[in-house]
Amino acid sequence: MSTAGKVIKCKAAVLWEPHKPFTIEDIEVAPPKAHEVRIKMVATGVCRSDDHAVSGSLFTPLPAVLGHEGAGIVESIGEGVTCVKPGDKVIPLFSPQCGKCRICKHPESNLCCQTKNLTQPKGALLDGTSRFSCRGKPIHHFISTSTFSQYTVVDDIAVAKIDAAAPLDKVCLIGCGFSTGYGSAVQVAKVTPGSTCAVFGLGGVGLSVIIGCKAAGAARIIAVDINKDRFAKAKTVGATDCVDPRDFEKPIEEVLSDMIDGGVDFCFEVTGNTEAVGAALGSCHKDHGVCVTVGALASFTSTLSIRSHLFFSGRILKGSILGGWKTKEEIPKLVSDYMAKKFNIDPLITHTLTLSEANEAVQLMKSGQCIRCVLLL
């Protein structure tokens, strides 16, 4: 029997208060309104930003259904939706693409003017209301996505149709972590063939940067982390050298400068530790080095402290969101590239659990035991 037009009851992980575990609840998910899409979620990765929302360093109104790295199948569509139909495999987009605004029309940018849920979180869909309720109370959405639920509703500018053959328990990572890292290398830094690269931080996102550097033809990729347990996986995905800054008395930027004749061409800070930004920038060649910071976004309130003399030359420091991809257009292409084996994301998934184990997944991530944990919904 069709569920279209009806309220769906399903399970979701709800965060009622900051710093508390999720509770697995029976929630109600209302049908999609005009230009909205209701999705039966199949799989979701658990990302650092979900935990940043739990801790409050990434502000989002609560109670909420978190999760933003998911994949599923369209259950029903609201009036006026033309980009997807029931039965389509999709990835929800925490950074939407309206296709009409100045930013969407700019060839180099991707932070669409409708990315309000990310920059000024209201915890709602674009019409300002929620489709979730639990125990008689409205529950907020999270950055246009809310994937820790068996069903979610998103705006039609925040969903990308993907290859019908794509394995959703793998390509869910293309909704955030993989695309953020891979795009930082190929799209934001524009790593060149034969170049030298260094990647600070070897979590799921940093390893995805390495995959991107390798795909772009980098000759040398130096993986930097204070946790040596991450080195084996870094080598598996393409690192040529692994360095622990704590093994040296001199600063890591001097170590890398000695290793690579004045510093690397491209450096990436993917630690979530703002203090590493200066070291990453200082590890770039002073003449032309490009440094991309991913971790500096980890908190809305943190500030950077960088020695100004690092800019007394041609170094460039760049930021980005979601690897610079124009999401609606380019996320499906990344899924197709994965299907065509242009890169492999499978080594990033070290654990697969169920929705009822969402809190265990967060603990695995916080303890550093997992790279990416996927929840089956």
Least distance from ligand COD to the Cβ atom of residue 250, Å: 15
The site partner of 200 among ligand COD, Zn ion, none (C-beta below 5 to 8 Å per kind) is ligand COD
Q: What is the maximum span of the chain, computed from C-alpha positions, in angstroms? A: 67
- In the complex with ligand COD, the residue whose CB is nearer, 38 or 230, is 230
Q: DSSP character for 31? A: P
Out of Zn ion, ligand COD, none, what residue 70 binds, judged by CB under 5 to 8 A for its kind, is none
Q: How far is the CB of 230 from Zn ion (least distance, A)?
A: 18
Distance from C-alpha of 377 to C-alpha of 369, rounded to nearest angstrom: 22
By beta-carbon proximity to ligand COD, the closer residue of 132 and 268 is 268
Q: Which of 251, 249, 247, 281 is nearest to 264 (CA)?
A: 281
- Asked whether position 184 contacts Zn ion by CB under 5 A, the answer is no
Q: How far is the CB of 365 from ligand COD (least distance, A)?
A: 7
Closest distance between ligand COD and the C-beta of residue 202, in Å?
Answer: 5
Q: Is 47 a catalytic residue?
A: yes
Is 285 tagged catalytic? Answer: no
Structure tokens at 90: 């999709």
Q: State the catalytic residue, choosing from 49, 95, 144, 320.
A: 49
Number of residues that bind Zn ion (CB under 5 A): 7
Residue 224 site contact among ligand COD, Zn ion, none (CB < 5 to 8 Å, cut-off depends on kind): ligand COD
Part in contact with Zn ion (CB under 5 A); list of ranges 84-92, 172-180, 259-267, 274-282: 172-180
| The one among 54, 112, 243, 281 contacting Zn ion by CB under 5 A | 112
Q: Which is nearer to ligand COD, 74 or 182 (CB)?
A: 182
* Min CB(260)–Zn ion separation in Å: 30
- Does the active-site annotation cover 176? yes
Catalytic status, residue 68: yes
Task: Provide the b/e sequence for 34-60 (b: ≥16 CB within 10 Å).
Answer: ebbbbbbbbbbbbbbbbbbbbeebbeb
Q: Is the dihedral of CA 361, 365, 370, 373 positive or negative?
A: positive
**What is the side-by-side strand order in the sheet with 23-29?**
64-65, 8-15, 23-29, 132-134, 137-139
For ligand COD, the binding residues (CB under 6 A) are 47-49, 52, 176, 180, 200-206, 224-227, 230, 245, 270-273, 276, 294-295, 297-298
Would you say 170 or 285 has its CB closer to Zn ion? 170
CA dihedral sign of residues 308, 310, 312, 316: negative
Report what 230 binds from ligand COD, Zn ion, none; CB cut-off 5-8 Å by kind.
ligand COD
Q: Which does 27 bind (CB under 5 to 8 A by kind): ligand COD, Zn ion, none?
A: none
Which of 10, 24, 101, 376 touches Zn ion (CB under 5 A)? Answer: 101
CA-based radius of gyration for the chain: 20
| Tally of helices (H runs) and strands (E runs) in the chain | 11, 18
Residue 92 near residue 162, CB atoms below 8 Å:
no
334 forms beta bridges with none
Q: Beta strand pairing status for 220-224 and 23-29? A: unpaired
Pairing of strands 132-134, 36-46: unpaired
Pick what 146 binds: Zn ion, ligand COD, none; C-beta below 5 to 8 Å, kind-dependent.
none
Angle among Cα 114, 177, 280 to the nearest 5 degrees reads 100
Query: Out of 47, 197, 284, 291, which one is annotated catalytic?
Result: 47
Reading the block at residue 96, the tokens are 């939407």
17: amino acid identity, one letter? E
Which residues belong to the active site? 47, 49, 52, 68, 176
Instruction: List residues binding Zn ion (CB under 5 A).
Output: 47, 49, 98, 101, 104, 112, 176
